[in-house]
C-alpha cells in the first residue's frame, strides 16, 4: 500500500482502522524501546526521586513531597503489583508514554479534526522521538501532557454535549495536572473561559458555566487539599510540594547562567565551580534541597526575590532567554542515552537531529495555524496563546529547560494534523494563501532558526 493510498480520502470507518493501526505501532515502538533496546537503563533526571517517593509511601515513612506527588501517585499501582525493579520502572514509563499517544488521539477527536487530520496527528504522536526514546523513563512532563490533552478534550465534549460527566473528567485531569506540576493551576479557569466562549450565544450560558465551575472546584479541591493539609500538619506549609523555593533560587542568583538557567538543577553540587558551590551550600545541609526545612526554604525565597529586585535588568534578560529557550528543540533523551551508553558526540548529534527535528516541524505547523493559514482546530487562536501562557508562565521566573514545552506538544501535533490535511487537500489554494502571508511565514522561519541556533550553541557551551 502506497503513502498516497494511505493518505487519500476514505470513509470514517477506514480512518478509524488506520488510526488504530498507528496507535498499535506506537505502543510497539515504546515496548521495544524500553524492554528490547534499553532493558537495563536506570532512571535519569527526576525518575529516581519519584521511585523513592513511592517506596516511602508504601513504607509509611514519607514526611513530605519534595517533587509534586502526581507522578508518584500515578505509578504506585505498577510498583504495588510488580514490586521495585528496573522492569517495573520501565513499565511505569511505558504506560505514561502510551498515555501521551492515546490522549493526543483523544484530543484530536475531541477537536473534530476529521479522519485524515486525526490519522496524521496519531502518526506523529506514535513516532514522536522524544517520547519514544524516553519510554523507559518516569517523568512528570509526559504525564502533564496527558492531563492537559484529556482535560482540553473532555472540556470540549462537556460543552458540546452539556455533559456533567465530561466536566467531571475535565476536573479529574485538571486536578491531576496540578498534583503533577502545580504551575498548571490556571488550566482550570482557562477551560471554563473556553467553555463560556463556545456557548455565550445561549441564553443559559452563565448557568452552564457555573455548573462546570462548581464541579471543577469541588473535584480539584478534593484532590489537592489533602496534600496541602498533609504538608501543613508536618510544618512544611500549605503547599503541594516543597521544591518551589529551590527552583526560584536556581534561576535567580549571581551564579546562574543567563541563558541556561536550569544549569544548577542538572548538576551535583560538587560539580559546580567552588564559588557557586559555596553559595548554594549556605541554604541547606546535605547534597540537595530535598530535606530543607520550611525556614531554609523561606531564606531561599527571600534571597531569590532580593536578587530579582536588585537586578531588574538582568532578571528581565533571563526571562526573555527562558521564553526563547522554551521553544528550543528536544535533546534530553539523546543526552541521557549518551550518558548511559557512552556513544560519541557524532552519534548524539544524529539522535538529537531525529529527536529535535520532529519538534521543529510540529512547532512550525502550530505557528502556521496561529497566523491563520488554515482553520484553527480550536475555537479561536486566542486559546492557543492562552494555553501557551498557562504552560510557560511558571517557568519564566524560575527553573527552566527546553523540554518543559512537552505538555503543549499534543496541541501542536493536532495543529500539525490539520495543516497536513489542509496541504493534502487538492482544493486548497495553497499558493494564494501562502502568498498573502509570505512575509509572516518567512519571519517565523527565521525566528525559529535563530532560536534553535542560540539554543544549540548554549547546549554545547553548557552541556
Q: Looking at the domain assignment, is residue 429 inside a domain?
A: yes
* pLDDT one-digit tens code per residue, 249-292: 989 999 988 887 766 677 778 888 889 889 988 998 888 889 99
pLDDT at res. 380: 75
Identify whether 285 is part of a domain.
Answer: no
Q: Is residue 260 part of a domain?
A: no
The answer as to whether 69 is a domain residue is: yes
Determine phi and psi for 326, rounding to 5 degrees: -60, -30
**How many structural domains does the chain have?**
1
- The DSSP code sequence of 6-30 is HHS---HHHHHHHHHHHHHHHHHHH
What pLDDT is stored for residue 376 in this prediction? 53
d(CA 331, CA 406): 12
Query: Tell me, what's the pLDDT at 370?
Result: 86
97: Cβ contacts below 8 Å, ≥ 6 apart: 30, 131, 132, 134, 135, 142
Give pLDDT, residue 164: 93
331 occurs within a structural domain? yes
Q: Is residue 122 part of a domain?
A: yes
Domain that holds residue 145: 3-242+323-461
**In angstroms, rounded to a whole number, what is the distance separating the alpha carbons of residues 89 and 72?**
11
User: Residue 74, Cβ neighbours under 10 Å: how many?
Assistant: 23
Give me the helices (H) in 200-344, please: 205-233, 244-251, 274-281, 294-310, 312-325, 332-341
**What three-state secondary structure class fits 37?**
helix
Q: Is residue 12 one of the residues assigned to a domain?
A: yes
- Ranges of residues in the chain with a pLDDT under 70 are 1-10, 262-264, 373-379, 428-433, 435, 460-463
In a domain, 309, yes or no: no
B/e letters for 226-264, b = 16+ CB within 10 Å, e = fewer, are ebeebbeeeebeebbbbbbbbbbbbbbbeebeebbbbbb
Amino acid at each position: 500500500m502506497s503513502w498516497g493510498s494511505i493518505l487519500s480520502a476514505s470513509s470514517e470507518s477506514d480512518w478509524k482502522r488506520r488510526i488504530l493501526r498507528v496507535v498499535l505501532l506506537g505502543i510497539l515502538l515504546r515496548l521495544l524501546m524500553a524492554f528490547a533496546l534499553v532493558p537495563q537503563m536506570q532512571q535519569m533526571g527526576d525518575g529516581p526521586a519519584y521511585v523513592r517517593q513511592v517506596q516511602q509511601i508504601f513504607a509509611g515513612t514519607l514526611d513530605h513531597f519534595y517533587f509534586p506527588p502526581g507522578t508518584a501517585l500515578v505509578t504506585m499501582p505498577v510498583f504495588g503489583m510488580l514490586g521495585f525493579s528496573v522492569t517495573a520502572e520501565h513499565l511505569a514509563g511505558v504506560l505514561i508514554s502510551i498515555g501521551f499517544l492515546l490522549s493526543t488521539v483523544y484530543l484530536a477527536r475531541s477537536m473534530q479534526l476529521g479522519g485524515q487530520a486525526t490519522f496524521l496527528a496519531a502518526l506523529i504522536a506514535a513516532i514522536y522521538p522524544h517520547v519514544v526514546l524516553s519510554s523507559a523513563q518516569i517523568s512528570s512532563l509526559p504525564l502533564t501532557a496527558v492531563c492537559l490533552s484529556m482535560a482540553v478534550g473532555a472540556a470540549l465534549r462537556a460543552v458540546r454535549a452539556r455533559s456533567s460527566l465530561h466536566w467531571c473528567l475535565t476536573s479529574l485531569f485538571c486536578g491531576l495536572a496540578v498534583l503533577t506540576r502545580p504551575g498548571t493551576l490556571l488550566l482550570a479557569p482557562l477551560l471554563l473561559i473556553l467553555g463560556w466562549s463556545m456557548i455565550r450565544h445561549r441564553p443559559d450560558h452563565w448557568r452552564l458555566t457555573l455548573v462546570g465551575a462548581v464541579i471543577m472546584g469541588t473535584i480539584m479541591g478534593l484532590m489537592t487539599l489533602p496534600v496541602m493539609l498533609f504538608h501543613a500538619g508536618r510544618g512544611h506549609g500549605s503547599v503541594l510540594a516543597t521544591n518551589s523555593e529551590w527552583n526560584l533560587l536556581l534561576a535567580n542568583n549571581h551564579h546562574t547562567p543567563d541563558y541556561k538557567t536550569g544549569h544548577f538543577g542538572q548538576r551535583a553540587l560538587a560539580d559546580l565551580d567552588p564559588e557557586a558551590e559555596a553559595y548554594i551550600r549556605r541554604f541547606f545541609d546535605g547534597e540537595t534541597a530535598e530535606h530543607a526545612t520550611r525556614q531554609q526554604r523561606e531564606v531561599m525565597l527571600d534571597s531569590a526575590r532580593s536578587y530579582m529586585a536588585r537586578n531588574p535588568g538582568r532578571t528581565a534578560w533571563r526571562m526573555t532567554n527562558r521564553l526563547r529557550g522554551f521553544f528550543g528543540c528536544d535533546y534530553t533523551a539523546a543526552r541521557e542515552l549518551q550518558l548511559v551508553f557512552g556513544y560519541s558526540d557524532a552519534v548524539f548529534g544524529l539522535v538529537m537531529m531525529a529527536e529535535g527535528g520532529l519538534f521543529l516541524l510540529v512547532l512550525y505547523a502550530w505557528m502556521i495555524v496561529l497566523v491563520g493559514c488554515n482553520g484553527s482546530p480550536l475555537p479561536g487562536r486566542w486559546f492557543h496563546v492562552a494555553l501557551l501562557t498557562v504552560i510557560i508562565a511558571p517557568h519564566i521566573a524560575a527553573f527552566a529547560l527546553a523540554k518543559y514545552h512537552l505538555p503543549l506538544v499534543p496541541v501542536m501535533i493536532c495543529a500539525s494534523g490539520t495543516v497536513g490535511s489542509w496541504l493534502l487537500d487538492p482544493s486548497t489554494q495553497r499558493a494564494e494563501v501562502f502568498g498573502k502571508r509570505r512575509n509572516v511565514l518567512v519571519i517565523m522561519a527565521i525566528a525559529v532558526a535563530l532560536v534553535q541556533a542560540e539554543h544549540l550553541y548554549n547546549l554545547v557551551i553548557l552541556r
